[in-house]
Structure 1
């Protein structure tokens, strides 16, 4: 089903996918007949940018295939039973033509291949009569019928017109499953059961089942006119499955999943001495055999075995390696690589690279689900750089490379993984369905678009595309492509009225630009040229480039009026303290910076009148600074900030020592003089005042008086000092008594009443007191004798 003119044998290939490329589901074509559709294969015709899809249907397919277009027959009418079909599309999904093949019974087309001229080859199975007329109106019926189901091979030109067809088989069920083209030869492979007179490739195949009717495998080589060249076959005593056919250079490789203790290949000779593949351990093992593409002679045989069920679903070759993909559910042994990872009795997807000259293992990759569900690789192909694209089905959560988790929506979902030719992971994607989606084949076009075909029984989501289920089994053909919508403008800020701006499109050309508001006007939506004279000033506009394959990239641009410059650095207000002993502080600040969206040249000048700038000594106080930025259009803006120098240094003041002094004679106090304290400060303008006490020179009364002086500087910082003045009363009080008195007794008494002036003391200070401490008071009866009267004065 693959034509090997796409690329040459490779020693080393690198992934060609750009880091900017996006995976996008470009389209999905639904194939529904309201009954049961099977889509078996897809093949790309790279030079002619088209693909061919094959399968079978029961009912009306006219909704998918346009009647009368390029010879397409009416698909609402079937031959009867199940019919095969072939459909041609352009790689963008455009339908070109389709035709049925069939008869009154069940018929199917299983595979398709394309040669260098664009002619196509198909194979499948039919029962009874069958019409191969293609897009023509004249029937082209089979000439032979052999048994229950027979094999057919057919060739059509690129317009769908039949060139030749052949039928082969025996009395049991036989069918062609795979077709490959290599240069001037076409190779058909399939499954047969020997019954009665069985003919395949113009010869009788060997009955490996020893007469019990088991399924065996055939390989037929023909020239492009349908003439047989050679044939080979393979089989074991039980039922065998065709795992795939690959062709390259001068070799054909046949892969068989066999179901008994030994499998034998037989070449064109026929050479019954070919090695017998033994070592069967589980349900199915895998055997590979190489044949010379010209002679049909055996080259080598190898096997992949294990103790479970190992099955290869597809195989490709590139001149140095064979790449196989399939599934297994236990341990697996790979030639020359040994035991692979155990699948813990769930099915895991495997992709294995073998040397094409010997079958020796080179590398393998295994993708498993997280817990107990299945993953099966079904098909694979090379892209134009030799990278390997694999597709399959999984349920649950698929753990890709133990890094990327992909969860199914409900049943089986589709996954695809890309590896380079060393087995290194490149990318992955998936499509989901709530029930099941089957993938049967994939093909890669000349732009590395990946076309998948298969069936679904419920709606399937392919990215932004989805199918609408008919409620029955439908078919699909979906394309996953690489898309790069990268673009860039010279800036993300433009100015109204400036010359138009045109971006550089570095991604896929041929797309369109859009902007949702309509306020940004494109002079050309194909190039993305912005009309800056017609567009409105706005912040921001989202410009989206949509590439032809549907991927998008969005960038944001701003359109400005020719506005004043903007200061990107304007110093903050700054407060510093004076330097010790000085009424100033040295101040440094960053120079203001201004930018202009519409001009590269911005002039910045200091426009305040302070005469102060960075690194100057700023006096104590608040200083307002201003810088003005002017652009080339004369628009200006200012940057203003303040520099404040705080005087945090206190003034100083010193007072005299405390003063103690006696009273002046006859005075209850004393005059006191002293030097008046005067405060000092680092800044001028300090004022000293007396807060309490008496000044210098006045008479200070007896006692202590505290003199306090305060100095206040121009920043309201204060300092104070105090001293005491104490006046001590050093002058004693005075008192004068009357002279001594001598007086006779009163008549008839032994005493006499004596009167005298009571003495009163005096003092230099008020408050003195006089008391009689001895004798009798004036006017008392003094007894005969001498009585001493004593008076004491206390100040």
Structure 2
């Protein structure tokens, strides 16, 4: 578990000037002749224990610390709940400039003051901080027994003003200094750390973060140990922005609060897992497409959902065989991982060929359609034509809704085509509620194999059933709400196979019989001449035996 610890350093000038409840109250470093009783005084709320506090002395010429005085004792009550403790320290340098820093038991710089100018510390606890010049100084002619002192009325450092030199009062509240209020009417001051941003701990969707705040009270002194954090320091914070509230209450039940944010950034990539797949090319278009979910094999992220994408998702005849694709898995934070998969593309559909003497199109086909007329639809039907004697028990008519491409009715056929001339005939099948187009469609299938996929009032692609993935062929004519009752759409022309005939606009229906203007002729036999050479041999080019080849991905003969 990742642990993040933040130590708050309260060294802002505004805090030094306005918020110290414990502070340097008196200073003596120079007098006429040999220096006598050099030292400083610390003032603050009575009862403040200075054990662990210290004052560091700084040389202003180079910013280095040159001495440390460890403090001790408890500040007495010398009036209004405040008092002072004096500390002697021989050898305090005489300025131009020099300085001293007051540091609490948590090793936090509370004040960094200087006399006869300001400078920046280059070592010690105050390293990098710039001192605040108190604005008064002791010349070498100062009488023995005088010092620099704060005067004024208040309870915090910022309420008072430096003055002097004047008669020293080490360990006592200064002459001209009045402390007011014991803190019972004022709230403590509390300072939150700066907003924290951390990365999530590896393998988790959060991070454990520790922090500290700082609190002072005019009466109670440093009460940072009484701060209550919600959520607590050391808690595990989830990914995202989390608000933390710090609250502290002094001995007079006055409360202060502050807030800051802990932002946990998800910087851990998701787990990408791929699987190999095999796909087949569409027999009509020679193409295939895949979705990233087909290649994904359980990719995930600790902190939420993932999105998937592929570098290659469309395939054609040129890509038969093994193809390497890259799956990219991206989480909500934008982190991503990849894996590779093999997509094996297969062309499993054999070419459809027509040889000399064979049919050049469907010999059993849709011959007549009626689906709409004026008023309530009557006699809706589909007629099937073909060679006489054809058993229709393996055939079916499947109706498709062009709005969405789904099938909505399947009719299994029965019966045998009769002979109405030249070995051909037609059988009519009444089917109620054939949809009225714009567009809709009809499939003729044999043993589940699509023979025809026709449509009226437009074309569309089927999304389910026997014709799934196939696009219909618009017959080019249609019926409307004004079509007279008793009319239908019919094929006319002369020939043997479906392509030999043409669809016509609504005309008088002829259900179950060969249409008016339609003439069937028996199929003709085509041949090619072959000539023997002197050795009684002949060569035949197989291409000469082909009438047509239907193959999406090319072929050889």
Structure 1 length normalisation: TM-score? Answer: 0.25
Higher RCO (CA 8 Å, separation ≥ 6 residues): 2
Structure 2 length normalisation: TM-score? Answer: 0.33
Larger radius of gyration: 1
Report which of the two has the higher share of strand. Answer: 1
